[in-house]
Chains A and B, each alone.
Chain A
């Protein structure tokens, strides 16, 4: 089981947190801080496993992490997961992000945290590995994003937003055209 997935940058700023066991918000932040503290002081050429995050799990749990440029990807897993397997999974996850965002960088994660979550949901579900095949993951993500959201769907989203506002109540004197002009600023991406 995976107990938590944390992504934070070189300064410990969280970019994505996903706990598969409930912790209150302040506890979550404490765990992030502690994990960052443990991970950040390690050189890049040492092993990627860490025991002894005292806040999360216990002796059965390990932190398995990878450091990419400015970001740390940390998985907290118990002994039923294969250490090397999880390292591979992190790689798969990052490569998937790379595909979905086209040359992913920290900014992508900052501004599209929700999308990163959706991608992660296709990889890990409820603490268990759902899919490890990158093409499959990308296909699922794109299936869901393109018809009703995401890059190409931004205008559609805006229109549907208008539709949902109980249009019949909108008096005639309001020019729908105005709304359309404003659409670009709505575009999330």
Chain B
């Protein structure tokens, strides 16, 4: 027995392996399926073996068969078995098979979780790698949830090989388990700066993929990517980043401006076509995003177009194709620059490559104008004739129609020409687009009234020659055209020259071979024609003609009555009876033409395609209401018998509904109107239009687009479209000549000699007047309907779930699920990032509105340095409309001067502050030395200046006040030692305080602020620091959450004069409490060089870091700005004094807080209360809240009606809680804080804010 088993397994060993299988299949070409089925039987046997090697071999063969199209899901369990083999080679086979045939509904997948987890944490990196690779193909939501944490750990694996795989697979995990995105994101972001280029590239890859779907959440990463872009040399990474920027720029035009220069440099420098192409693409995206705001980027457009031309002219078809593709993007916004390359694009129409021809066609669509439409279409018609292959020809046909009909036939000046083009197109054999031509014919004939006579004549000819079209109509879509022809001839039969002939044509027996829906139209319109014919014949004395017509109808119609098509049959028998009746009356010599015509009286108006959808629901109609009582859900079996007896009950309720009397109805209607009027989302009817609609019956109310006239051309017969081109040319020439004459006259009249332009050169668009007086009737829409595009987003898009705000700090609850018995160590990096993210928020807010402009000019005379300081400081809290766009304009300028220095933050951690980054528009590459200076200045280590403990724990002296600060300037040196001692003491004193604040820090949880709720008046936190005739400084102070002893003062310097300002030095007299941080090695009184120069009219922002000890009191610091004013001939030294006002508000940091955490905080009893009342505040409550949020760095925790709770935290961790209530013009604020002095000051400041407005 045992022997048998062994023998069996040894036999198996010599079973076919993959190669044998392949060989066998190749040797059984004629009976492959049979051979494979025997192989599958063998495999099934092999899978029953206990031997894992045999199983692995079998699974390997199955993978091959899967490729050939065989379903191998039956072996899923065996695949799992092989996956769990301890040998790498087998494991790999198992994972490969799984990745080829597992999917979300494979149920054995849930068995794999632990195996995969084991493999992921295997000491052998190849096991881990193979598991990651496999998992990337079959990850399910369950697997993603269970393994997210393991994978996240792998992102910090020691081997870059594993790291990069782990990073890549995170994308799949995010897709399946969106909750993992936020917890994992900080680490993913970290990987952007991984030392290994492969890992870096993987991280870029994943973030780009995420950002492509939800770009707005990734805007804050722009500076980081910008840095990568300027530093990376890996073209793959560059391409990805550049593509990403292409997706980001539409959201942030300032980013675009910043990008243009480095991208242009890349375009000039790179030799890689792929990179060049992507750069051009992104520059185009930038230009598109800027197109509304900034006009002067013609140089960049020119560069792009020029580079694309090179691509298109290249012999490499791929480049040609891509060039055309990118060109079509430019076309949308800058059609002029593309139009100049019309020659090239027309040339591409002749290319042998269909893809290229199609691309060129796309371009043509946007290039047509009134002037060149005929010419281009003529060229396309030639191509139609030449084209072999119906797909391309069909494409041409649709393009011709698209081109002509675009934007409501905007470019068509001669509709006769267009109709004849359409008629020519009907001669195409085997096109699928008959219905397209038909609908164009209908559309034009209906909407362009002036063309109807011509159209009808053409259609009549078509009907006459129907046999040409219907030659072999079964496989021919062109007969659809007859549908249009018949309808047009019938509907507008009054224009027919010979209606009788057309009528006969429509009643030919051959018509019965047409498709049913066309026959139906034939029958119906034959009746219309009949009516017209009767009318024309009635005038004659001889009534036989009319009777003959009736007889014709009676003879021919039975053919249709027998039709198998119900519609045809019904219409035909109806009309037949009608005609028979008419004939009877005719025989009695009754005049019936008038009455027959009345059957078809009235005009049909075009209806917009969306009109039906837009019909407003009539008043009083509730579409969601039940028509009958809904079946009650709780209906259970034992209740049913009861229902038999209680049946009458529901009946009562219904009549009650309908019996509402008139008064009640009127009252309700009134109430509803009132409600609608107050509802901003309800689209109100403008009363006038409603009236017009009701008062004017018929066609008059249809909006009519008037196009100016010229003499209509009459072209007899069936004209070829080419004729029109010539005629049109002549006409235009004539017009031009006339115009010239007129102009000459005018000029003569004026006799002013300055008119020498205009008559030469190409005529402009406006000069071309259409040949017809044309009413293009716009389509009917129900009033109240807004022409909106419905947002048709796919609700099943998996990426929708990933639309997650990544800048919000992580909440405690947001953690990846971990198996309970294992503790995951929390990485310090993650914490850091959390804080970082929290820090970003307040900054963003304040910098949204950047700069302030003031018009009043104080004329200060020069004063020497030694002179007494004048206290001219003005402190104003002004709110002006700040101009994002305008603020940036000067920045661009300053770039051009190229003397401008990089911003202080370009390399320090604050780089994440997107707005600040954007506002400065630096080009790091060419300002390296400057950066180093700036760096040293912006973020010197805190201890350098403060001289306190090396760790950056917040110090909180309570008694360092402003008085001290004032006196300090005199005896600073003496005091220094003393002060240090004091500080040490203070530190001890407040030690417990730190713990408290640290604890508080973790409570930062997500919550929105109220700002986005409704439109608000623009606000700015920048207030005036000082100004004179040369320069103006505005500043804003922001706390630094990471370091409780630091605040950052952002100062915008604006050059108001017309001379060049340089060598600016910013100096502040330190107080005991607050000190300007100076670079190492400089003395306590040295000024800081402002890291840029200011050309006239330019402004720029610099940041200065101050160390503060106590934050509970506001304080003021005196300072001076010295600078050199350089004119063309002279330069003078100037100075400006200022006073920096550190309000308590500036120590607060917007920190979101959940309401439960907020409640806990209030319950704790550690907080001391205070309150304040504001009178006469006249603004909506949400504006009030927004103001507090914005100016005082609070966030709204909860808002109920006219009551809101708000929260903020100081840089040293004090909690500040507000309860804001409003009634009428009185606002009461109850506040609680663990530091009463701070609270008092904050409340004072809030009070001041509102007293000013």
Q: What residues make up the interface of A, taking CB atoms closer than 8 Å to B?
A: 1, 14, 16-18, 20, 22, 24-26, 28-29, 43, 45-51, 80, 82-85, 87-88, 110-111, 113-114, 117-118, 121, 125-133, 136, 140, 143-144, 148-149, 157, 160-162, 164-166, 169-171, 174, 179, 182, 185-186, 188
In the bound complex, residues from chain B placing their C-beta under 8 Å from that of A85 are: 235-236, 239, 274
Chain A nearest Cβ from B127, distance in angstroms? 10
The answer to whether A114 and B17 have CB atoms under 8 Å apart is no
Give A48 to B322 CA distance when docked, in angstroms.
10
Chain B nearest Cβ from A143, distance in angstroms? 7
In the bound complex, residues from chain B placing their C-beta under 8 Å from that of A126 are: 133, 136-137, 168-169, 171-172
Give A111 to B1213 CA distance when docked, in angstroms.
68
Which residue of A29, A49, A160, A182 is within 8 Å of B355 (Cβ)? Answer: A49
With known contacts A28-B69, A130-B164, A161-B13, A188–B19 Cβ distance under 8 A: yes
With known contacts A125-B165, A126-B171, A129-B236, A185–B321 Cβ distance under 8 A: no
With known contacts A82-B243, A148-B89, A165-B9, A136–B137 Cβ distance under 8 A: no
B87-137 CB contacts (< 8 Å) to partner A: 87-89, 92-93, 96, 100, 103-104, 126, 132-133, 136-137
The answer to whether B51 and A114 have CB atoms under 8 Å apart is no
In the bound complex, residues from chain A placing their C-beta under 8 Å from that of B172 are: 126
- Which partner residue on chain A sits nearest B63 by CB separation? A114
Give A20 to B138 CA distance when docked, in angstroms.
9
Chain B nearest Cβ from A166, distance in angstroms? 8
The answer to whether A132 and B236 have CB atoms under 8 Å apart is yes
The answer to whether B164 and A165 have CB atoms under 8 Å apart is no
Which residue of A113, A128, A143, A157 is within 8 Å of B64 (Cβ)? Answer: A113
The answer to whether A46 and B354 have CB atoms under 8 Å apart is yes
Chain A nearest Cβ from B170, distance in angstroms? 10
In the bound complex, residues from chain A placing their C-beta under 8 Å from that of B96 are: 114, 117-118, 121
Give A127 to B132 CA distance when docked, in angstroms.
13
The answer to whether B10 and A80 have CB atoms under 8 Å apart is no
Give A174 to B2 CA distance when docked, in angstroms.
12
B6-34 CB contacts (< 8 Å) to partner A: 6, 9-10, 13-14, 17-19, 22-23, 26
In the bound complex, residues from chain B placing their C-beta under 8 Å from that of A131 are: 164, 198
The answer to whether A14 and B68 have CB atoms under 8 Å apart is yes
Give A38 to B54 CA distance when docked, in angstroms.
40
In the bound complex, residues from chain B placing their C-beta under 8 Å from that of A118 are: 92, 96
Give A166 to B69 CA distance when docked, in angstroms.
35
The answer to whether A49 and B318 have CB atoms under 8 Å apart is yes
Return 21 A-B CB contacts under 8 Å, by A number. Answer: A14-B68, A25-B66, A25-B70, A43-B352, A46-B353, A47-B317, A82-B278, A84-B273, A85-B235, A110-B22, A113-B22, A114-B63, A114-B64, A125-B136, A128-B171, A128-B206, A132-B236, A136-B198, A140-B161, A164-B51, A165-B6
Instruction: Pick the 3 closest A-B CB pairs, nearest first.
Output: A126-B136, A84-B274, A22-B103
The answer to whether B161 and A1 have CB atoms under 8 Å apart is no
In the bound complex, residues from chain B placing their C-beta under 8 Å from that of A111 are: 18-19, 22-23
B249-286 CB contacts (< 8 Å) to partner A: 273-274, 277-278
The answer to whether A169 and B169 have CB atoms under 8 Å apart is no
B1182 at the interface (CB under 8 A from A): no
The answer to whether A1 and B209 have CB atoms under 8 Å apart is yes
With known contacts A83-B322, A114-B18, A157-B89, A165–B133 Cβ distance under 8 A: no
In the bound complex, residues from chain B placing their C-beta under 8 Å from that of A80 are: 208-209, 212, 243
In the bound complex, residues from chain B placing their C-beta under 8 Å from that of A47 are: 317-318, 320-321, 353, 355-356
In the bound complex, residues from chain B placing their C-beta under 8 Å from that of A148 are: 87-89
Known: A85-B274, A144-B88. 5 other contacts (CB 8 A): A43-B352, A51-B355, A80-B209, A144-B126, A165-B9
In the bound complex, residues from chain B placing their C-beta under 8 Å from that of A45 are: 317, 352-353
Question: Which of the listed residues B69, B92, B236, B358 has the most CB atoms from chain A within 10 Å of its own CB?
Answer: B69
Give A188 to B745 CA distance when docked, in angstroms.
95
B489 at the interface (CB under 8 A from A): no
In the bound complex, residues from chain A placing their C-beta under 8 Å from that of B352 are: 43, 45-46
Give A133 to B198 CA distance when docked, in angstroms.
9
- Which partner residue on chain B sits nearest A166 by CB separation? B50
Chain B nearest Cβ from A172, distance in angstroms? 11
Chain B nearest Cβ from A14, distance in angstroms? 5
- Which partner residue on chain B sits nearest A49 by CB separation? B321
With known contacts A80-B243, A125-B132, A126-B168, A14–B6 Cβ distance under 8 A: no
B3 at the interface (CB under 8 A from A): yes
In the bound complex, residues from chain B placing their C-beta under 8 Å from that of A144 are: 88, 92, 126
Chain A nearest Cβ from B64, distance in angstroms? 6
The answer to whether B356 and A25 have CB atoms under 8 Å apart is no
B67 at the interface (CB under 8 A from A): yes
Give A24 to B69 CA distance when docked, in angstroms.
9
Chain A nearest Cβ from B328, distance in angstroms? 13
With known contacts A84-B274, A174-B6, A188-B17, A143–B126 Cβ distance under 8 A: yes
Give A96 to B355 CA distance when docked, in angstroms.
30
Which residue of B67, B205, B353 is within 8 Å of A113 (Cβ)? Answer: B67
Question: Which of the listed residues A51, A110, A114, A166 has the most CB atoms from chain B within 10 Å of its own CB?
Answer: A114
Question: Which of the listed residues A117, A143, A169 has the most CB atoms from chain B within 10 Å of its own CB?
Answer: A117
In the bound complex, residues from chain A placing their C-beta under 8 Å from that of B60 are: 114
The answer to whether B205 and A128 have CB atoms under 8 Å apart is yes
Give A129 to B198 CA distance when docked, in angstroms.
10
B71 at the interface (CB under 8 A from A): yes
Chain A nearest Cβ from B33, distance in angstroms? 13
In the bound complex, residues from chain A placing their C-beta under 8 Å from that of B10 are: 174, 179
Give A25 to B62 CA distance when docked, in angstroms.
13
In the bound complex, residues from chain A placing their C-beta under 8 Å from that of B235 are: 85
- Which partner residue on chain B sits nearest A13 by CB separation? B68
Give A33 to B179 CA distance when docked, in angstroms.
39
Chain B nearest Cβ from A123, distance in angstroms? 11
The answer to whether A171 and B274 have CB atoms under 8 Å apart is no
Chain B nearest Cβ from A87, distance in angstroms? 7
Give A157 to B89 CA distance when docked, in angstroms.
9
Give A39 to B132 CA distance when docked, in angstroms.
33
Chain B nearest Cβ from A187, distance in angstroms? 9
- Which partner residue on chain A sits nearest B71 by CB separation? A25
In the bound complex, residues from chain A placing their C-beta under 8 Å from that of B23 are: 111
- Which partner residue on chain A sits nearest B50 by CB separation? A166
In the bound complex, residues from chain B placing their C-beta under 8 Å from that of A113 are: 18, 22, 63-64, 67
In the bound complex, residues from chain A placing their C-beta under 8 Å from that of B50 are: 166
In the bound complex, residues from chain B placing their C-beta under 8 Å from that of A127 are: 136
Chain B nearest Cβ from A32, distance in angstroms? 8
- Which partner residue on chain A sits nearest B135 by CB separation? A126
In the bound complex, residues from chain B placing their C-beta under 8 Å from that of A51 are: 355, 358
Give A7 to B287 CA distance when docked, in angstroms.
39
0/1 string, B832-875, CB within 8 A of A gives 1: 00000000000000000000000000000000000000000000
- Which partner residue on chain B sits nearest A14 by CB separation? B67
With known contacts A16-B67, A125-B168, A126-B137, A114–B93 Cβ distance under 8 A: yes
The answer to whether B209 and A130 have CB atoms under 8 Å apart is no
B1117 at the interface (CB under 8 A from A): no
With known contacts A118-B92, A129-B205, A25–B69 Cβ distance under 8 A: yes
In the bound complex, residues from chain A placing their C-beta under 8 Å from that of B165 are: 125, 130
Give A127 to B52 CA distance when docked, in angstroms.
30
